[in-house]
Each structure stands twice: as structure tokens, then as C-alpha cells.
Structure 1
Amino acid sequence: MADDAGAARGPRGPRGPGMGNRGGFRGDFGRGIRGRGRRARRGKLGRLESEIIDFFLRASLKDEVLITPVQNQRTRFKVFVAIGDYNGHVGLGVKCSKEAATAIRGAIILAKLSIVPMHKGYWGNKIGKPHTVPCKVTDHCGSVLVSLIPAPRGTGIVSAPVPKKLLMMAGIGDCYTSAWGCTATLGNFAKATFDAISKTYSYLTPDL
């Protein structure tokens, strides 16, 4: 009888060859057999809920929306959303959809999930509150290269409209900027500026 039961189950479990337990139950849910589980175990799973950002920064967050139509066989709307609290936090989200309202909602969520802190500094003596970028930072996206350069207090933001809006939302009062490449491509221009802003915390200074 035991031999008959074993034959009915098959070599890989009760369902026959190739259908059974596939290695059996390991008893450890944290191991993760799929991509998301493996990323969670390694600590590489990022923020997935925009409500977390709302809980901490809802009262101070402001957003700017820009819609550009994408002309293909079907007209779609590509939305860029910049979001920030004007006090050291800024985010950028991009979403494309057939409906403008859907694209705006998705871009706002992505912008909240991409919020990064910005390290502010001084030009010259450390008098008053930090007002500019701590040093020259540069980044690129596509053919667009953007540099953010410290400026004296009272200079303002010397920039094109796209970087100026992102720097204002990050809480920067004075900054020189320099850009190369096809800056008419709005997405690359905004992403290059955002990546340069993110680099201000890529190193540590004595005041941190």
C-alpha cells in the first residue's frame, strides 16, 4: 500500500511530475521568492506610500503642474509635477496618460515619493541662515547639463524658469546656474536640475 501511495503522489508531490511543492515550505516569509520579496530582504525596497509624505509634510507642500500633449496615433498627456515645501525638500514626478486628470494624480504621487532633502550653505561668511547651494554641483539628463553655483546673498536665482521654480521650491534664495545642451526639452532640463539638487547631500561637510 505504501508503494502504491508513493506512486500516486509521483516523484515531486501529490500532483505528479513537475507539479508539486517546488522545494517545499521553508518556513521563512522574509526570504522572498519573487523580485519584491528579495528587494525587501536586502533593504532596497523604497517608499511605496505617498500618505507617509502627507503625514509629515502635508501642511507645507506646494506643487506646480505643467502639461504637455504627446502627439502619437493616440493623443496622450505628459505631466510634470514639481513639489516642495520651500524649506529644504523638493520632488519631481512625471506621468503620461490618456486623460489629463489621471496623469496629474499619478505625477503628484510620484513627486511625493521622490522628495529629497537639499543641503543649503553660504557664500562667504556664515552670517544669518543658509541661503545658497554649499558648492558647485553638476548633473545631466540626456544632452542637458546643469550646474548650480553658489551666489552672494541678495543675488536671487539667476536661471531659466524651469530650474528657478525647482530651486525656489527647495528653499534656495540665491544661486547662479549654467546649462548646456537642448534645454528646450523640458523633461531632461527638469530632471537634470533635480538630480543636481539631489547631489548636495552626496558628500559630508564639517557642519553636518
Structure 2
Amino acid sequence: MTNVEGSKADEDGDEVGEEGHAGSLCSIVADVKEPEADEVDNDGIEAGRAQGDGVAEDSNEVSGESDDENNGGDNEGVLMTEAGECVRDAEEEEKWVPVTKLGRLVKENKIRKIEEIYLHSLPVKEHQIVEQLVPGLKDEVMKITPVQKQTRAGQRTRFKAFVVVGDGDGHVGLGVKCAKEVATAIRGAIILAKLSVVPVRRGYWGNKIGKPHTVPCKVTGKCGSVTVRMVPAPRGSGIVAARVPKKVLQFAGIEDVFTSSRGSTKTLGNFVKATFDCLMKTYGFLTPDFWRETRFIKTPFQEYTDLLARPKGLVIEAPAEKIEA
């Protein structure tokens, strides 16, 4: 990796530093230089994850050798999987210290269902909240595309990742993240997708027999020039949709639906955003079966006021000094 001398400006230094990464990222750029819009290559994505993490390891070894020596093995709790993902031990997971009131209530099991959060429209600022309240959450990378910006030092290439998460039971989220490395973009997109998890309302096509299996009514979502329309379908019809919205609908837990789309659907980013917007609108209005007597209940912040009033700082006991006689 080429080091940037102090004689160059800071902005030029960033660009030259990135050009140093170009030699290591050449294989990744070749894989995702011109991806097909209508196809999602899972094998290529897994390879991109592994290569991206490999690049991150190389850069850390070159630039941060002294830091590793000084820290004395801070990364002992990190394990590397076959896909190249960083997986920390269970001890690291337990070290989550919530910084919001909602996170404190979830950590102490005062809120056990994510529907309680949706009922009061509470903002979710920590992805660990969704991980704890929505078990079985799966994620899939829809697309990784390179984006470029023209600067004085040349073109700056970064990677944009689209990730969809869902549990297949009425919860789905979409995250988009842009970063210099593929692995960083994927990890950031997964976190943003968990923060944007929304409920999806399901209904019936005809008689209310069995569990809800389709969308409750005709809904339309739009993003850019892409418009997606969903129509309820009878049980057994399956998901009649293109490859991109079909994956999002499967993560949302919808079994039968008819879809139609128009616009520039080859732009996968707008296509998946329009599908996500369509699912969000299923709870955008109240149908007559929801016209019930309004009962005002306390929000979790009001109900657990005394608990939240406690100091949240950690008390660290200093070791007693020994006085030698």
C-alpha cells in the first residue's frame, strides 16, 4: 500500500490512499463491474464477502501492525467463518450496553414484542433491539454495484450494497449502504436493514379460513420511475412476481399474491425500494375491521418511568492501593 506523504493535501491523500487499495480490490471490481440487473448471484456475493474481508485484513496488517502490538491481542474474541465474516464470541454479544431508553427496556425484558414498539411509534436507534425482539431474522444481499465519484485525483470507486432482512412472518426490512470495501458495505447495509424493519399486514382472498396468506387489499408502491402493484390472490397461487420482488415477499411471509410492475425495473435499487414501499403501505390505513373503541394506554416510557430514572452509568471500583511498610 502506498503511503501518502505530508506534502500532499488531506483530500488528495484520501484519494491516493484509496488508489493504493485498487490493486487489492481489482478482483472484486472485476466481479461486480457490470452486474446484471435482473439476476442475483449468491455465489458471487459470498465470494465478494470473503474477498472484501481479505482485503480488510491485508490493509489492517500493513497499516496497523504497531496498533496490534500495543493493544496486546484485542482481537482474540473474533472468529472468522468460511464466508469471511467476523463473528464474535457470546461474551461480546453480552457486552451490549444500550444507550437509549428503549434499548434499556428491551435489555431488561420489559418489552418482549416488537409490536409494542410499533403500537406507540417509538424510534429504534439500535439494531440489537430488533435482533432480540425478532428471532430467526435472515438476511440476503440483493445486489452489490460499484459507484464512482470524480475528484481531482481521479475517479473514486466505492461499493453500494442492497440487503433485505426478514423472518418470513410479517417483518421485513431494507438497507442500503455505500463503502470503500464490499465487506464494510454489506455489514453496514445489514445494520440499516434491521433498523428499518416494519410490520407487514396479511389478509385473505376470500373466506377467512386458516392463516392469512396474501396482501389484505390492492396496494401500490413507487420509487423513481418504478411502480409496483400487488393484488390479493387465492390460496395456492403462489408469488407471481419477478425475481427481485419475489425474494422480498418471501421474507415478508406472503405466500400468494399477483404483482405488476412498470418503469425502469432494470434499476434494481428502485425496484426493491418500490416493493418495500408497497409492503409498508399495508398498514398505512385502517380498514373497518380495525374500527374499534380507542383505548389510551401508557407508553413503555411512561409505564417504566421509575426504572428509566435510575442512573445508567456503570460503577467501576478502583483497586485499593497497597502501602508497603
Q: How does 1:123-202 map onto structure 2 within 5 Å?
A: 123-202=205-284
TM-superposed CA distance for 1:55, in Å, is: 1.1
Does the alignment pair 1:50 with 2:131?
no
Partner amino acid, structure 1, of 2:230: L
Verify: 1:61 aligned to 2:61, yes or no.
Answer: no
**How big is each residue's C-alpha offset from its partner over 1:87-141, in whole Å with a ceiling of 9 and x where there is no partner?**
0000000001111111111100100000000000000111111000000000110
1:206 deviates by 4.0
Displacement, 1:204? 1.5
Structure 2 equivalent of residue 87 of structure 1: 169
Aligned to 1:14: none
- Tell me which residue corresponds to 1:103: 185
- Flag structure 2 segments of 5+ consecutive residues without an equivalent: 1-119, 150-154, 291-325
Letter in 2 for 1:70: V
Runs of 4+ in 1 over 3 A off after TM superposition: none
**Backbone CA RMSD of aligned residues:** 1.6
Aligned equivalents of 1:117, 1:134: Cα separation in 2: 13
Say how many residue pairs are matched.
165
Q: 1:70 pairs with 110, 124, 147, which one?
A: 147
Greater helix proportion? 2
- Offset of 1:150 from its aligned partner? 0.4
Q: Tell me the amino acid that sits aligned with residue 138 of structure 2.
A: K
Percentage of matched positions with identical amino acids: 68
User: Which is worse superposed, 107-116 or 46-55?
Assistant: 46-55
The structure whose RCO (Cα within 8 Å, separation 6+) is larger is: 1
Q: Partner of 2:248: helix, strand, or coil?
A: helix
Hey, what's the Cα distance between the residues in 1 that align with 2:201 and 2:121?
A: 24
Whole-angstrom CA distance in 2 between matches of 1:136 and 1:89 = 19
Does the residue aligned with 1:48 lie in a helix, a strand or coil?
coil
1:40-69 per-residue CA deviation (whole Å, 9 max, x = no partner) reads xxx998321101101111x31001113122
Residue type at the aligned position of 1:88 = G
User: Aligned partners of 2:195 and 2:230: how far apart in 1?
Assistant: 24
Distance in 1 between the 2:244 and 2:233 partners?
18
TM-score, structure 1 length as denominator?
Answer: 0.76
Structure 1 residue ranges without an equivalent (≥5): 1-42
Residue 75 of structure 1: SS of its match in structure 2? strand
Distance 2:278 2:264 in 1: 17
**TM-score normalized with structure 2 length:** 0.49
Inter-partner Cα distance in structure 2 for 1:173 and 1:45? 29
2:26 maps to none
Tell me by how many angstroms 1:86 deviates: 0.1
Offset, 1:71: 4.2
Alignment correspondent of 2:196: 114
State the shift of 1:75 in Å. Answer: 1.9
Return the offset for 1:200.
0.3
